[in-house]
Structure 1
Amino acid sequence: MSLLNVGARALLANQVALQTTGHNIANVNTPGYSRQSVQLATVQGQFTGGGYIGQGVDVQTILRNHNELLTRQAAMAGSTQAADVVRSERLNQLQEVFSGGTSGLGAAITDMMNSLSDVVSSPTDITARTVALTRMSETAGRMRSAADRINEIQYTVTEQLKSDVVKVNSLAQSIAGVNEQIARARGNGQTPNDLLDQRDQLIRELNQYVQTTQVPADDGTVGLFVAGSQPLVLGTTATTLSVDEATQFPGSGQMRLFFNRPGATPVELDDNMLGGGEVSGLLRFANNDLAEGRNLLGRMAQAIGMTMNAQHKLGLTLDGQPGKDLFAVPTSMPGYSSGTGAGTVSFTDPTKFAASDYEVRFTTPPAGQVVRLSDGKSTAFANLADPALQNIDGLSFNLTAAGAAGERVLFKPFSSAANNIQALVLSPRDLAAANPINAAMGTSNGGTLQLAGLKATGLPNPPGLVLPANANPAAVPPILGGVQLRFNAGPPVTYDALDRGTSPPTTIAAGQPYTPGSPISINGWQITLQGTPKGGDTVTIGNALDPQYGDAYTRNAGNASAVMNLRDVKMFDESTMNDGYAGLMAQVGTRAQSAQYAADLSTTIAANLERDRTAVSGVNLDEEAAKLIQYQQAYQASAKMLQIAQSIFDSLIQTMGR
């Protein structure tokens, strides 16, 4: 009987080994499956006077080949990879918005500014004026198109965030369900290998969307925590997540992940605490990368619009009317408050704009600081009327109410500036190409004075442009009109500025030094002279609409030249208007390149860790095939042992029956 029992145990043990090996082979392509192996143990021998006689073998357990550390590291690395890859993909989409070539925004800006050269060459040519206005309309259209594409990216990111959160909630619920099954199965003292594999795989899938911290419990369940401390899965209970606008700045468009505690107010999770996962990568892209793209585009639209508007309004149209705004751009933007603080931000100097959002943080109200979020630079203010608020990066912060200590007001001055920009001047006659002033050298000048430049600047503002007075021959004594520069022989050479709008003329400035090629600025206009004057030489600057000059202004293109020359003004981080778009492309491209590098690196790390995990837990078909032969031979030998035992037992029965 003992031999029969030994054979039966061996047969059953090798059958289990064959079944386990077959199970491994069947699941070779199953994601997350961990190779299983049979643990055999010798049955305690029977004591006799001649020693212990062996009783065979029993299956002790089915071992799951698994390394907890490698599994967690692989899940963590996969989470980081998912965040980096999705951010890189989205940044590539953003980079496509700011493409180069003839169809890009940069080419449109260059064509717009260059088209004014034909107007300068032929101020009365209606065709040249029409082409210039068409180029302005095309530039505004491409800016709106770029803004629309950014809005589309924002929409798809928001939808992907919502979809990812639905998947997170579903996976969390599944993990809670598997936790319950594992806790029940652990009651029999054995490890439910396949359930553990299922849970690990679900956790890996969950970490693709949001990074979790795992804490095992004594009953076999695993708790999953997000953002450091929020229990997404605790035992057999799962809590949901949601994505929505930030509660601190309603209406600002900033997205946040919320932890929905049962029966309590949702907890807004800190983006910096989320770690990896697609949700973290998408939030980082939406709140940082996409915001910078909006600000870069909005700053360009606002600066170009404001600069060209200001210069255009200083000129005269073909009908002798002052110019109007060329582009529709906002004059101020409201703030998004986290409490009682309130205010607006207005635009003052487009050459100083920084592509950034700003926060007003109240420390000891009404005192606080304005923080530029792009780099953390802060400007302190003592109260709401502090002059320091009026000149920060070309912006004026007009605070109307102070917030409590710790409260903030978010300002996004450039985020929507390009959304509705459009060209406002449609008629070619309304293009203000002419200077509102003219200049003439004295007829009796004996020096080498030459006119090098003349334009209206409107600076300083206030008071802005003050045109020279018209002549009035009927007055007694007659009023000559204009402003006259009268030079005094040197050295050094100086000049007196006389306002001839009164009789006798009044002195505006006396004894001013003259330097050839240096601009002379008076009353919001600027004249540049070359050459050396003699004592008594004069230059007269007159009102272009003075009747004594007739319609000479219609053949003047001084203001069109001034608008065209804006292309060389530094306004985008020391880049000119013409080069500003290249700088924008470089900034977005640098982010995209950096994100691609991070994605490649995290992908490599994740692949290496997954390879290490698979080396421990994965199924090797060659190894399993060898085990099949081994266990098959053992099974056949066990069967042969039973056959021999049966034969011996039959012989014994026959002998005993005689």
Structure 2
Amino acid sequence: MASIFNGLHIGYSGLKTSQIAIDTTGHNIANAENPDYTRQRVVISPNPPLNTVPGDLGLGAKISEIVRIHDEFVYKRLKGASNDNEYNRFRMDTMDEISSYFPEIDKNGIYNAMQDYFDAWNDFSKNTDDSALKINLAQSARTFTATIRDTYDQIRGVQSSLDEQLRTSVDEINRLGRQIAELNVRINTDESAGNHANDLRDQRDKLELALSKLVDIAVSKGNLRPDMTVDPNLVESGSAYHLSIGGSSFVDGTTFHPILFENPEGERYGRIYYQRQDHVKFDITDFIRGGQVGAMLSLRDGDIDKTLESLDSFANTLVIQTNNLYAAHATDNMRGDIPLDGSQVISRSDLPIDTGGSFYVKVYDIDGNVVAKRKLTLADDATFRDVADAIEANAAADVSHVVVNDGNGFDDNGDNVDGNDVNDYLKATVGDTANPSPFAISLTQEARDRGYTFAIEEADPQNPSLFAGAVGLQRFFDRPADGSPDVARRITLNRSLDDNPTRIGGNAAPIAGDNGVANAMLQLQYEKVDFYAPANSKSVHSTDTLSGFFRMSVTAVADTTAAAHASYDTSEALLTAVVNEFDSISKVDIDEELTNLMKYQTGYSASAKVITTIDQMIQTLLGMKQ
């Protein structure tokens, strides 16, 4: 039944509606500069009418709901664009740092140190007896190897830093995931009565966006709820929630499953694991993509690893090729630098020895004359012990799997005279399975007393066996004695030569004026050689000159850096477009809010006028009674 007091109720509903609308507008204005806030809007609907004759009588208005203007589809694109942009930005910044360690255009760095090194060999080749030139060569070699080591250490430092950043990032991912699970509890509680937990959802979206910048995530939020009656851009998520990383459940509703970062036994760097509730762990490292963590993994295990491998390959080949040539310098003793098992088949070892190659073992007298020369050709099944036996043997019965003097017997000089062959002057030893030890060759005491020396020289320099260089018999450069693949990190001038550079020899035969070794070293910079990865020296990385291989490696770094810049520019442009679209839908427009504020203020005043009018009507009725 219609009553005058209905008017009071209608006016009051108008006041209440306008007050809530003004509060919501003020909330929007207060958060206008909050980048994580989504603007909210009140939905005003009429109260159920009073059915009367001649028609329904309205009973005012109410706020049916307060919604945030959020498009889940656009927000998903924002997360994806942010993920790609962070991935590309991190890669670009890191590759810029890596590139700075190859300052070749500034007349610094490995390439220029290498040119100075070979220039020193060129000077030395003109007078191999000049001590000043030996000292200059030693200094150039020190600078060259120090530059290689420093560059390697700097890049390895970046790689190690990325590993530490990964550990920190995993902790941050877990922190964000735990907070999302806690927010889901509050959201479910607040929305259980049918309300919208707008601010809590904004907080969850903020955490999701931060998480997407760290790692690629997949989020399912149940059935989406569009509402064209409120706003054409309103597409809100449902009440269900599931977030996964690398295909593994990370947040399932209110349940949080942490990921772990651990170093497997024997591994230098850590891996990312997913741990189930029964504590069973799965390695998900290879399934993680995008974001800063994806970039760190792609750099640590990909681009940086390849750069370090190239440096190691460069240093390893430099050491082996140089030492192989330096073995032609006559000496009274040679001892390798890698422990060997004499029974090891050479072709099955990790050393880059060509078992089809041949080399000479030469013995010189005190005047520099060759008194014995033996050619050894290695068969595919030759062992290190077989090589030692071939040096010491005086009959075919004592040798297996090594062809001596092209099969023409053990009379090295072809004079049918006993006592003047290689085996009469040299002794060769190598370790065994129980006690591995380096390959070693030494003069007999009688030959040493006569002032004899010996050397190892390739039979075909264009197709070298690399035996002497691979086992490190006569060293100009030292490398890790434990056979470690980190050659670039530990390459140095041979210690004895570093201590006393005057011991450096540029001669092959022990005679004044001979510059055979120095000339061979000088020629090395122009020769195409095989480059091997130290961890697998049977696998040819590339065939090129030393300078050509290094330039190729630097170019690869430059190309990767340029590609990172191009990818970042593209992703930045895409992100800007998506951010603009998202902001146009969800961000606060001050002009619009001020307009709404005036509108709701006018509505509030009008509702107050309704109440004032009803009050006057009541006063009139009361006055009639009096």
What's the TM-score, normalizing by structure 1? 0.67
Q: Which structure 2 segments of 5+ residues have no match?
A: 224-237, 341-347, 355-464, 468-482, 532-541
Pair 1:258-2:262 in alignment? no
Q: CA deviation at 1:275?
A: 2.4
Match of 1:280 among 285, 294, 304: 294
Q: CA deviation at 1:122?
A: 1.8
Q: Note the alpha carbon deviations across 1:142-169, whole angstroms, 9 max, x for none.
A: 1111121122112211111111111101
Q: CA deviation at 1:141?
A: 1.0
Quick one: which amino acid aligns to residue 587 of structure 1? A
Pair 1:269-2:284 in alignment? yes
Instruction: Report what 1:418 is aligned to.
Output: 488
CA distance in 1, matches of 2:154, 2:180: 39
Pair 1:6-2:10 in alignment? yes
Change (3 A) 1:264 1:71: same
CA distance in 1, matches of 2:125, 2:84: 57
CA distance in 1, matches of 2:19, 2:243: 38
Pair 1:237-2:310 in alignment? no
Residues 256 and 283 in structure 1, CA contact (< 8 A), matched pair in contact too: no
Residues 24 and 624 in structure 1, CA contact (< 8 A), matched pair in contact too: yes
CA distance in 1, matches of 2:256, 2:53: 62
Quick one: which amino acid aligns to residue 528 of structure 2? K
CA distance in 1, matches of 2:202, 2:339: 60
Pair 1:223-2:223 in alignment? no
Q: CA deviation at 1:432?
A: 2.0
Residues 164 and 209 in structure 1, CA contact (< 8 A), matched pair in contact too: yes
CA distance in 1, matches of 2:135, 2:589: 75
Quick one: which amino acid aligns to residue 260 of structure 2? S
CA distance in 1, matches of 2:551, 2:333: 30
5 Å matches for 1:296-445? 296-316=310-330, 321=331, 345-348=350-353, 416-424=486-494, 425-426=497-498, 427-436=500-509
CA distance in 2, matches of 1:329, 1:89: 40
Match of 2:215 among 207, 210, 224: 210
Pair 1:628-2:597 in alignment? yes
Q: Note the alpha carbon deviations across 1:242-275, whole angstroms, 9 max, x for none.
A: 2234x5xx4343542111223322210042x322
Change (3 A) 1:586 1:47: same
Change (3 A) 1:281 1:222: same
Change (3 A) 1:23 1:270: same
CA distance in 2, matches of 1:223, 1:150: 39
Pair 1:577-2:582 in alignment? no
CA distance in 2, matches of 1:574, 1:344: 21
5 Å matches for 1:495-506? none
Decide which structure has greater helix share: 2
Match of 1:97 among 101, 115, 138: 101
Decide which structure has greater strand share: 1
Residues 324 and 466 in structure 2, CA contact (< 8 A), matched pair in contact too: no
CA distance in 1, matches of 2:187, 2:593: 27
CA distance in 1, matches of 2:613, 2:175: 58
Quick one: which amino acid aligns to residue 199 of structure 1? R
Q: Which structure 1 segments of 5+ residues have no match?
A: 333-342, 350-393, 397-412, 437-544, 546-552
Quick one: which amino acid aligns to residue 239 of structure 2? G
CA distance in 2, matches of 1:610, 1:624: 21
Quick one: which amino acid aligns to residue 293 of structure 2? V
Q: Which has the higher contact order (CA 8 A, sep 6+)?
A: 2
Change (3 A) 1:61 1:330: farther
CA distance in 2, matches of 1:32, 1:330: 61
- Identity, in percent, stands at 23
Change (3 A) 1:419 1:73: same
CA distance in 2, matches of 1:164, 1:204: 15
| DSSP-derived class of the 2:272 partner | strand
How many residue pairs get aligned? The number is 461
Change (3 A) 1:601 1:609: same
What's the TM-score, normalizing by structure 2? 0.70
Instruction: Report what 1:291 is aligned to.
Output: 305
Q: Note the alpha carbon deviations across 1:322-356, whole angstroms, 9 max, x for none.
A: 6979xx98799xxxxxxxxxx9622337xxxxxxx
Q: Note the alpha carbon deviations across 1:457-476, whole angstroms, 9 max, x for none.
A: xxxxxxxxxxxxxxxxxxxx
Instruction: Report what 1:177 is aligned to.
Output: 182
Match of 1:30 among 31, 34, 38: 34
Residues 243 and 256 in structure 1, CA contact (< 8 A), matched pair in contact too: yes
Residues 84 and 595 in structure 1, CA contact (< 8 A), matched pair in contact too: yes
Quick one: which amino acid aligns to residue 506 of structure 2? A
Residues 42 and 67 in structure 2, CA contact (< 8 A), matched pair in contact too: yes
Match of 2:47 among 27, 43, 47: 43
